[in-house]
């Protein structure tokens, strides 16, 4: 018996079929809004990935938007994966922004432009907070829209955590320095492929990170320091490490989180490598992500006062072959049946009456 898995980074509910635009609400590349975008109205609790991830033991997920036409992607939410229509646990739970190569492409082509645009938009939001008439005075030259300014004011004062996608060690250090000018920022670093290089700086800043522990080869030039020991080295340095599934089908396969955590346990036994203990690894997919989003008092653990998210497994949940045999979300028992299960049962022994009319034998 364990607490339900908290997916530290996902697009569940925003995507049904990745290749079909009409079913994909993860990004809004042609809108004039950015930070003000709120994914909550776009979430679909009836999407098939919800049941698939629930059947893997995931009971809550931190869902982030993928992008907009501007630097900031918008406001994410914490959701539950229960079999009902009320999916949103906490709307506007985070703001998401990408630095590095992705941010450079949005800001004008260089990291210098990324950091400048970030600062200017936060400063514009600060001016708006002090004098709301500022935006009207700027007219067409306004740096941001009113809805974006409202959202960024909550980032500046620390009300909304800022999830920052950043991988290169030098970029990580520069993101940490942003708190010198905006000291109330509640930063959460996402990706952090080269985080082990600057682990002491991250730990000293007391900033949590969200990593994909199987990233051991560079996918681009900002990941040249990729190593499977990244998560273990960060943890050993005193960093709060969450393990998540991103850049790896983060809408459909959040259940991989248990496999990722299990790999860290195995990695701890490899000479010269850095992994985690079982307790540390399981916490990285349950209580630690809950703490990163400021919800450790309600989700991610089995303690008095927490919501009733419980999973009963048929074996060690960090073993690859283990599966849930029963799941409760908010204290209510949940179905483990997915669309794939129903299709399997329908076509295992095809009968003429059960087949679609266009089925060709």
CA-based radius of gyration for the chain: 21
Q: What is the arithmetic mean of pLDDT over 100-111?
A: 92
Largest CA distance in the chain: 71
For the chain, give the mean pLDDT.
Answer: 92
Residue 232 contacts residue 267 (beta carbons within 8 Å): yes
Q: Does residue 244 carry a pLDDT above 80?
A: yes
Instruction: Quick: pLDDT tens for 303-321.
Output: 999 999 999 999 999 999 9
Task: In whole angstroms, give the CA distance from residue 258 to residue 271.
Answer: 23
The better pLDDT of the pair 359, 248 is held by 248
Q: What is the pLDDT of residues 34-56, one digit of tens each?
A: 999 999 999 999 999 999 999 99
Q: Six-digit token pair at 86?
A: 């009320």
Domain spans in the chain, listed from the N-terminal domain onward: 2-109+154-354
Please report the pLDDT score of residue 17 as a whole number: 87
If one counts every other C-beta atom within 10 angstroms of the C-beta of residue 112, the result is 11
Does the structure show a pLDDT above 60 at 62? Answer: yes
Residue 200: what are its φ and ψ, rounded to 5°? -65, -40
Q: Does domain 2-109+154-354 have CATH number 3.10.129.10?
A: no
Q: Is the pLDDT of residue 139 over 60?
A: no
Q: State the Cα–Cα distance between residues 151 and 96, nearest whole angstrom.
A: 11
| Lowest mean pLDDT segment, chosen from 104-118, 128-142, 238-252 | 128-142
Local confidence band at 343 (pLDDT 50, 70, 90 cut-offs): confident
Quick one: pLDDT at residue 80? 97
pLDDT at 191: 95
pLDDT in tens, 147-200: 999 999 999 999 999 999 999 999 999 999 999 999 999 999 999 999 999 999
pLDDT of residue 137: 58
pLDDT at 57: 96
The share of the chain scoring above pLDDT 90, in percent, equals 76
Do 324 and 258 form a contact (C-beta atoms < 8 A)? no
Residues 6+ apart with CB under 8 A from 260: 212, 213, 214, 243, 245, 285
Which two structure tokens, joined as six digits, stand for 21? 């635009």
The pLDDT of 317-345, averaged and rounded, is 94
Indicate the pLDDT class of residue 141, thresholds 50, 70 and 90. Answer: low
348: pLDDT confidence band, cut at 50, 70 and 90? confident
**Residue-level pLDDT at 142:** 64
What does the pLDDT read at residue 307?
94
pLDDT at 19: 83
């Amino acid at each position: 018996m364990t607490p339900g898995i908290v997916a530290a980074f996902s697009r569940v509910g925003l995507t049904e079929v990745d290749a079909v635009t009409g079913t994909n609400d993860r990004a809004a590349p042609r809108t004039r809004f950015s930070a003000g975008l709120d994914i909550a109205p776009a979430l679909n609790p009836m999407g098939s990935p919800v049941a698939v991830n629930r059947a893997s033991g995931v009971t809550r997920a931190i869902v982030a938007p993928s992008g907009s036409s501007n630097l900031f992607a918008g406001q994410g939410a914490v959701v539950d994966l229960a079999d009902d229509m009320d999916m949103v646990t906490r709307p506007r739970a985070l703001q998401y922004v990408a630095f590095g190569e992705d941010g450079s492409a949005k800001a004008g082509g260089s990291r210098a432009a990324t950091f400048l645009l970030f600062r200017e938009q936060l400063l514009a939001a600060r001016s708006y907070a002090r004098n709301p008439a500022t935006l009207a005075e700027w007219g067409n030259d306004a740096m941001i829209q009113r809805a974006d300014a409202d959202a960024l004011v909550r980032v500046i004062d620390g009300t909304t955590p800022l999830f920052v996608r950043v991988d290169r060690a030098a970029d990580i250090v520069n993101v940490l320095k942003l708190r010198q000018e905006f000291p109330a920022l509640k930063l959460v670093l996402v990706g952090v492929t080269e985080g082990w290089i600057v682990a002491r700086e991250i730990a000293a800043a007391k900033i949590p990170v969200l990593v994909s522990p199987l990233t051991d080869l560079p996918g681009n030039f900002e990941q040249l320091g990729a190593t499977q020991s990244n998560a273990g080295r960060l943890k050993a340095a005193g960093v709060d490490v969450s393990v998540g599934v991103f850049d790896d089908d983060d809408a459909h396969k959040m259940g991989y989180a248990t496999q990722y955590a299990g790999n860290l346990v195995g990695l701890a036994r490899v000479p010269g490598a850095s992994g985690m203990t079982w307790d540390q690894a399981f916490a990285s997919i349950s209580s630690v992500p809950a703490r990163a989003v400021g919800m450790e008092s309600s989700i991610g653990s089995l303690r008095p006062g927490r919501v009733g998210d419980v999973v009963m497994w048929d074996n060690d949940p960090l073993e690859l072959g283990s599966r849930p045999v029963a799941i409760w979300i908010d204290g209510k028992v949940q179905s483990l049946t997915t669309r794939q299960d129903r299709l399997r049962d329908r076509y295992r022994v095809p009968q003429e009456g059960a087949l679609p009319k266009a089925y060709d034998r």
